[in-house]
Structure formats: structure tokens, C-alpha cells
């Protein structure tokens, strides 16, 4: 039975350890960016919910006006400068459909996040 | 002839390299544990924030008016939502958590605690909008920040809730 290691074996083990250690910083960076992306996603959802809450309290004509001038809140803009929001309202039978979408920077999410709300005519319900 | 050992020069070169590698390996292990702990904290914070957001929105939808109360201690702030003539909800916060107290005739009937994170900053804004859809509204915004000492962006937004409260029944 051998009592020692060959230099070649030690060299190979050291090389493997070096490669493993060298790969970890990028993994830590990835974890950090994923956590940040998750925070940004939640903020975007909250932004859409805040706007939708206000819009669903309006009449369809006021809602259309508000959608023409809709902008991302100053606080969110400060955190995510490249974010933008837009929305549209369409009539669907007796109801009005409001579609809000927020576009985040590509590094966080390439597709816009959408939230759909409905306005019903109280008199017809 | 085959050598039995290494020269002093060879050992002097290899030992620092091994030491450096070991230090790096230990640092990696430390970072791994720290990342796991941070991820666990983050997950917990997200759950609490989600619970808080749902609760605040529910309370605001029930509320008839909001009033801000600033007690003498600057470390503690609170605001109060009046739900009906006899019931109210107080939200009180300190450096790391928010406490919700539901009261009926000034007697606490339910207390919820939302443990969040260190260096919590709450920005509470309230203003009367005048009229929207011909009715007066109160616009309320609650913004939760995490202050990061020493970072370039020294405040990180964690939660934003904006609600319009009709001052007259719709």
C-alpha cells in the first residue's frame, strides 16, 4: 500500500481546487443579481397595483385621460431609472378592460410585466 | 538517479501558494455560509413585506380617514387609520419592525408584529387631493426603505404602497 501521494496527483488536486475557487465569485455575483432582480420585480408589481387601484376608482373617460399621462412614480424612477409604464383601456361588452404594463431594464427582465383590471358600469350591474 | 525529497527553494515556492489557496478556500466557505444566511433573511423579509402590504391595503380599503401621530420619541413613529367611529388601526414602527394594533374604543383587540430588517426607514405621506371624479380624496403613500450605511445608493426602496381614500362614500 502506498504511503504518499505523487507530485502529479497533488498538482492535479491543487488545480481542481483552484478552478473550483475561481468559479465561485461569479456564482456569488449571480446570486446577488437574482436577489436584486426579485426586489425590482416586487417593486414593479407594487407600482402596477398602486396605479390600478387609482384607475379602477375613476370613470372610463377619466381613466383614459389618466392613462395618457401615466408615469412611473418618482421613488421607483430613482431606484430604476430606465423603467417606463404605459396603459390602455378598451371596452369589452359592458365592462372596460384596463391593461397596464411596466417595462424594466433588460438586465432585470426583457418582457414587460402586465396587470389587467376591469371597470364595470355600476348602473348595469 | 531519482531524488528522494524537494529542495528548500522548491518548498519555499510551493508553501506560500498552498497557504494562499487554503485562505481562498476558507474565504469561499465563509462567503457560502454568509450568502445562505442572507438568502434566508431575504426570503423571510419578502414574506413579511408581502404580508404587510396585503394587511395595509386591506386596512386602507376599510378606512374612512388617516391621521399621522408623531410621538415625542423620534425613534418611534406611527400613523392611525380610523375605520369607523369606534374602531381604528395604529401602525407604529421603529428601527427594524412595524407593529399593527387594532383598537375598538381605544382598547387593543389585536396586535400584529412585522419584523423586517435593521435600518428600516418609513416615509409616510398623506395629502388631500381635492377632487377626483368630483369627490374629495386623501392620497396616502407608505414607502419603506432600507438604509445602507456606506453604500453609494444609501437608501434602497423595499415597499411602496399608494392608495386613494375617498373622504365621502362613493
Whole-angstrom distance, CA of residue B37 vs CA of residue A4: 39
Question: How far is the C-alpha of A82 from the C-alpha of B99, rounded, in Å?
Answer: 35
- CA dist A88 → A67, A68, A72, A98, B40 (Å): 7, 8, 15, 6, 39
A43-95 pLDDT, tens digit per residue, is 999 999 999 988 888 888 888 888 988 999 988 888 888 889 999 999 888 88
Integer Cα distance of B30 and B22 in angstroms: 12
Element (H, E) at A102: strand A95-103
Instruction: Say yes or no to pLDDT of B130 above 70.
Output: no
The rounded percent of chain B whose pLDDT value lies above 70 is: 84
B-chain residues within 8 Å CB-CB of A57?
A: 132-133, 164, 166, 170
Whole-angstrom distance, CA of residue A120 vs CA of residue A98 = 11
Has residue B28 got a pLDDT over 80? yes
**Contact residues on chain B for A74, CB-CB shorter than 8 A:** none
Please determine, for the modelled complex, whether the ipTM score is greater than 0.90.
no
What's the pLDDT at B131? 57
The average pLDDT across B95-102 equals 90
Cβ-Cβ contacts under 8 Å, A62 against chain B: 132-133
Higher pLDDT, B136 or A7: A7
With 0-12 / 13-18 / 19 or more C-beta atoms within 10 angstroms meaning exposed / middle / buried, residue B46 is middle
- For residues B54 and B161, is the Cβ–Cβ distance under 8 A? no
Reported as a pLDDT band with limits 50, 70 and 90, residue B54 is very high
Report the distance separating Cα B52 and Cα B143, nearest Å: 12
Kindly state the average pLDDT of the residues B160-166.
Answer: 84
Residue B74 pLDDT class (50, 70, 90 cuts): low
Task: Answer whether B170 touches A (CB < 8 Å).
Answer: yes
Read off the C-alpha cell for B169: 362614500
* Radius of gyration of chain A measured on its C-alpha atoms: 26
Please determine, for residue A124, whether its predicted confidence score (pLDDT) is greater than 60.
no
Would the pLDDT of B111 be above 90? yes
Provide the strand spans (E) within B11-166. 65-69, 77-82, 87-93, 97-104, 107-115, 120-128, 137-147, 155-166
Residues of chain A with a CB closer than 8 angstroms to some CB in chain B: 14, 17-18, 21, 24, 28, 31, 35, 38-39, 42-43, 46-47, 49-50, 53-54, 57-59, 62, 73, 75-76, 78-79
B15-44 in b/e burial notation, b at 16+ Cβ within 10 A? eeeeeeeeebeeebeeeeeebeeeeeeeee
The residues that bridge with B5 in the sheet, in sequence order, are: none
Region A97-104 average pLDDT: 93
pLDDT band, residue B83 (cuts 50/70/90): confident
CB contact under 8 A, B133 and A38: no
Amino acid at each position: 500500500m502506498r504511503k504518499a501521494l505523487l507530485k502529479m496527483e497533488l498538482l492535479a488536486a491543487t488545480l481542481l481546487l483552484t478552478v473550483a475557487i475561481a468559479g465561485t465569485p461569479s456564482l456569488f455575483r449571480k446570486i446577488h443579481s437574482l436577489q436584486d432582480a426579485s426586489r425590482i420585480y416586487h417593486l414593479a408589481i407594487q407600482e402596477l397595483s398602486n396605479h390600478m387601484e387609482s384607475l379602477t376608482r375613476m370613470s372610463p373617460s377619466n381613466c383614459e385621460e389618466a392613462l395618457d399621462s401615466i408615469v412611473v412614480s418618482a421613488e421607483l424612477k430613482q431606484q430604476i431609472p430606465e423603467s417606463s409604464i404605459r396603459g390602455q383601456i378598451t371596452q369589452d361588452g359592458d365592462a372596460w378592460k384596463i391593461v397596464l404594463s411596466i417595462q424594466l431594464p433588460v438586465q432585470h427582465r426583457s418582457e414587460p410585466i402586465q396587470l389587467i383590471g376591469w371597470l364595470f358600469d355600476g348602473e348595469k350591474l | 538517479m531519482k531524488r528522494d525529497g524537494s529542495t528548500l527553494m522548491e518548498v519555499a515556492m510551493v508553501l506560500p501558494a498552498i497557504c494562499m489557496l487554503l485562505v481562498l478556500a476558507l474565504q469561499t466557505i465563509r462567503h457560502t455560509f454568509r450568502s445562505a444566511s442572507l438568502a434566508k433573511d431575504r426570503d423571510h423579509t419578502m414574506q413579511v413585506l408581502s404580508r404587510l402590504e396585503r394587511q395595509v391595503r386591506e386596512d386602507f380599503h376599510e378606512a374612512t380617514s388617516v391621521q399621522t401621530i408623531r410621538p415625542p420619541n423620534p425613534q418611534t413613529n406611527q400613523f392611525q387609520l380610523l375605520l369607523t367611529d369606534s374602531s381604528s388601526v395604529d401602525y407604529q414602527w421603529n428601527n427594524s419592525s412595524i407593529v399593527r394594533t387594532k383598537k375598538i374604543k381605544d382598547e387593543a383587540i389585536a396586535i400584529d408584529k412585522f419584523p423586517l430588517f435593521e435600518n428600516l426607514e418609513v416615509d409616510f405621506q398623506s395629502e388631500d387631493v381635492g377632487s377626483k371624479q368630483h369627490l374629495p380624496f386623501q392620497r396616502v403613500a407608505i414607502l419603506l426603505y432600507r438604509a445602507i450605511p456606506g453604500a453609494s445608493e444609501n437608501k434602497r426602496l423595499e415597499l411602496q404602497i399608494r392608495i386613494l381614500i375617498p373622504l365621502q362614500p362613493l
